[in-house]
Amino acid sequence: MSFYISLSGLKAAQTDLSTIANNVANVNSTGFKKSRANFGDIFSAAPMQTTTQVSGQGTRTIGIQQQFTQGTVESTDKTLDVAITGEGFFTVKGAGTNGAVSYTRNGAFSITEDRNVVDTTGAHLQVLPVDATTGEITGNAASDLSDLVVPLLKPKAAPTDPDVQLSSLAVSETGLISATWADGTTTPLGNIAMATFASQDSLRQKGDAHWAATLQSGDAQYGSGNQGSFGSVRSGSLERSNVDITEELVALINAQRNFQANAKAIETASNITQTVVQIRT
């Protein structure tokens, strides 16, 4: 039995090592959230046995849990580099009519040749509709989401109006994206669709700092930044990984020691078994 108990310890230590190694590997990944392996003991006893008569049967991995703590926010001076300080996610959608909606903290966005705003995976940034005059949000349901498109020319009120080039973009703390034209006028294009969840720890990890909603996480609630439970949006900044490299290296040493201790326990059990066999022979 001691073989199997120590083997479960080896497997747990290996899972811990793999989780920590993944954290260390992604220390420079934008928007990455570190994970932690959770373990529980295995205990089995007959109905008439007391707990003082059973030593336990090892350990098992309960799950890998992500830690959604705030990462360091660094300045980039690029308007479409945006970071969230506080709760919430950016909403993005894969290309095509059947593209899947996902949620990310990686706010490194750029404009494509067809004027769509996309993230590093090519997914389109989703915005909520706003009033063309006031910039106030006019809808915050999932059906109101749309791709953000940045026109190169100012929309004309009449066909005879001259072409007016785009001068610059601005992103407010609430996530309102506005275009300033060469004639000095400003037009709101949409408000970044911020998303929060009843249980963000239950989101399904998809890679590239993207997550998908699950039954356990609940449906996304959409809104604008700096309001209610939504964090504020910082333009010209990116949120780095929340991995503390010093903390992870210390955890790596502890996991390695756990692995070595369980390996030693297996070696000891093997020696005892060999001794018993030799006595019988």
Give the lowest-confidence range in 96-105, 116-125, 142-151, 252-261.
Answer: 96-105
- Would you state the pLDDT for residue 50? 59
Q: Which positions ≥6 away from 137 have C-beta within 8 Å?
A: 128, 129, 130, 191, 223, 224
Average pLDDT over residues 27-37: 96
- Would you state the pLDDT for residue 41? 84
Ranges of each domain in the chain: 2-69+248-280, 73-239
Average pLDDT over residues 73-92: 96
Average pLDDT over residues 29-42: 93
Using pLDDT thresholds of 50, 70 and 90, give the confidence band for residue 86.
Answer: very high
User: Which DSSP string corresponds to 67-110?
Assistant: --PPPPEEE---TTBEEEESS-EEEEE-SSTTPPEEEES--B-E
Residue 7 has pLDDT above 90, yes or no: no
Q: pLDDT digits over 210-233, tens only?
A: 999 999 999 999 999 999 889 999
